[in-house]
Amino acid sequence: MCSALVDPKEVLIYAVGDIGPSRPDPDSLFDYVRPTLRQADIAFMQLELPISERGARLPQVRHTDRSPKTAAPAFRRAGFTVASMAGNHCMDWGAEAMFDTVHALKESGIEVVGVGANITEARKPVISEVKGRRIAFLAYSSILPMGFWAEEHRPGCAPMRAWTHYEQVEHDQPGTPCRVHTFPHREDLQALTDDIRKIRKEVDFIAVSLHWGIHFIPGVIADYQRDVGRAAIDAGADVILGHHAHILKGVDIYRGKPIFYSLCNFAMDLHMDEKHARSKGFREIQKLHPQWQPDFGITYNFPPDSRHSAIVKCVLAPDQPPRISMLPVFIGPMSQPEIVKAGDRRFDEVRAYLERHTASQGLNARYVVAGDELLLEAMDE
């Protein structure tokens, strides 16, 4: 699908969104993408589900599942080398399950970022040295059930919390829709930017992973995301890798560096049965996307928009700025991602979807077709 690098001095990095196998053979999820991912020097993923048989589901968790113990080696066989666990499922089954997951990933040769036994561990970067280049990953989550973020003496993930304010627009009209404003948690944002500045002079490239945003609603970017993404780049980040929304969202180019607000799912199972489909919890979330209809015969029960996904490709060449592009991806009914080529109607669908929702949010990325990739340019350049 994508040819290997010609220049042996170049470093190839791939990054994807949410991954969460819930099947006995997780290797099968990657059948169409494994040859491409394995070309990378570094491949990054966001892990959604714990890999553990221990622990009990915490009461504040709305929906959860577990990945089988075969998942971690399957990720490594697929080519992944770095995984973020900073997200709203990291503590679904308690601290024991979180630590089991970290152990399983590391035992399979995958570095883990964004969680730890305390806040210091959770904020620690993963730094890989490849071909003389040092590449750092940091990971944070804004989607946080109570007690999921790490503290001085508590395990969990690195937080990037945000506050929400609801403004009544017409004060004399009870029940009318309101404006929604969100703001970054000042201490969390300061910690995030401090983490970036601390390592900026020690590494050649910094990727910041953020589990954030508004899930399932097409296009919409929350105010705090814009603030956090730009602050991270001002502090020295080279790329922002966003996920959690379970649908693809637009891209902004800020100071020449891309903010990917949501890379969508990449390899996620979501089984559905009639009991789940009738549940109050699912019906509430289903309202966020009216076209979302469950299908009991497939494993990918997400809204139709969730079929569109992407891989971020970063190429680091000596004495050149990073070259960052996107490989359009289409996800099939059995949760398997497939990289689609230019000329395939699905390639054009992904590109058109990105363009539509980039424009709807006033973002400035332009997607230029180059071979089977989408090169990123800023419209205002």
* Residue boundaries of the structural domains of the chain: 11-378
According to the model, what pLDDT value does residue 63 have? 85
Secondary structure (3-state) at 214: coil
Q: How confident is the model at residue 129 (pLDDT cuts 50, 70, 90)?
A: very high
Distance CA 143, CA 263 (A): 16
Q: Which of 48, 50, 17 is nearest to 33 (CA)?
A: 17
> H helices within the chain, ranges in order?
34-37, 71-78, 94-107, 119-122, 186-200, 223-235, 274-278, 280-286, 345-360
Q: Please check the confidence at residue 381 and state whether its pLDDT lies above 70.
A: no
Q: Which of 53, 34, 54 is nearest to 43 (CA)?
A: 34
β-pair partners for 159: 141
According to the model, what pLDDT value does residue 68 have? 96
Distance CA 243, CA 342 (A): 24
Could you give phi then psi for residue 74, rounded to 5 degrees?
A: -65, -40
Q: Please check the confidence at residue 1 and state whether its pLDDT lies above 60.
A: no
Side by side, the strands of the sheet bearing 133-141 are 126-130, 133-141, 205-211, 239-243, 257-260, 251-254
β-pair partners for 130: 133
Distance CA 171, CA 302 (A): 37
Q: How confident is the model at residue 6 (pLDDT cuts 50, 70, 90)?
A: low
Q: Dig out the tokens for 17 from the structure.
A: 């969104």
Q: Please check the confidence at residue 4 and state whether its pLDDT lies above 70.
A: no
Distance CA 128, CA 380 (A): 34
Instruction: Yes or no: say if 227 and 191 are a contact pair by the CB < 8 Å rule.
Output: no
∠ at Cα 220 (19, 273), nearest 5°?
45
- DSSP assignment of 358-374 equals HHHTT--EEEEEETTEE
pLDDT in tens, 309-324: 999 999 999 999 999 9
Q: Please check the confidence at residue 161 and state whether its pLDDT lies above 90.
A: yes
Q: How confident is the model at residue 290 (pLDDT cuts 50, 70, 90)?
A: confident
Q: Dig out the tokens for 116 from the structure.
A: 């730890």
| Centroid of chain to Cα 42 | 16
Detail the DSSP E strand segments found in the chain: 11-20, 42-47, 82-84, 111-113, 115-116, 126-130, 133-141, 156-157, 162-168, 178-184, 205-211, 239-243, 251-254, 257-260, 265-268, 308-316, 323-331, 337-339, 365-370, 373-378
pLDDT in tens, 215-253: 999 999 999 999 999 999 999 999 999 999 999 999 999
pLDDT in tens, 182-221: 999 999 999 999 999 999 999 999 999 999 999 999 999 9
Stated pTM of the model: 0.96
According to the model, what pLDDT value does residue 2 have? 46
Architecture of domain 11-378: 4-Layer Sandwich (3.60)
Q: Please check the confidence at residue 51 and state whether its pLDDT lies above 60.
A: yes
